Amino acid sequence: MRTVPLGKSGLQVPAVAVGCMRMEAKTDREAEALIRTALEHGANFFDHADIYGGGRSEEIFARSIGMTPRLRESMFLQSKCGIRSGMFDFSKGHILSSVDGILKRLRTDYLDVLLLHRPDALMEPEEVAEAFDTLHTAGKVRYFGVSNQNPMQMQLLQKYMKRPLVADQLQLSAAYTPMIDAGLNVNMQNDAAVNRDGGVLDFCRLNEITVQPWSPFQYGFFGGVFLGSDRYPELNAKINDIAGRYGVSDTTIAMAWLLRHPAKMQPVTGTMNPDRLVECIRAAEITLTRAEWYEIYRAAGNVLP
Q: Are 46 and 62 in contact (CB under 8 A)?
A: no
pLDDT attached to residue 76: 98
pLDDT attached to residue 221: 87
* Domains and their CATH numbers in the chain: 3-227+263-271 (3.20.20.100)
Helix (H, G, I), strand (E, B) or coil at 191: helix
Q: Are 265 and 208 in contact (CB under 8 A)?
A: no
pLDDT attached to residue 269: 98
Q: Is the pLDDT of residue 222 over 90?
A: no
pLDDT attached to residue 20: 98
Distances (CA, A) of 75 to 5, 44, 62, 64, 293: 15, 5, 12, 15, 31
Calculate mean pLDDT across residues 90-102.
98
Q: Is the pLDDT of residue 93 over 90?
A: yes
Q: Which of 52, 143, 219, 232 is catalytic?
A: 52
The residue among 55, 101, 48, 98 whose CA lies nearest residue 77 is 48
Task: Return the bridge partners of 167, or none.
Answer: 210
Helix (H, G, I), strand (E, B) or coil at 170: strand
Directed axis angle between helix 56-65 and helix 28-40, to 10°? Answer: 70
Residue 52 a catalytic site member: yes
Calculate mean pLDDT across residues 54-67.
98
Calculate mean pLDDT across residues 34-61.
98
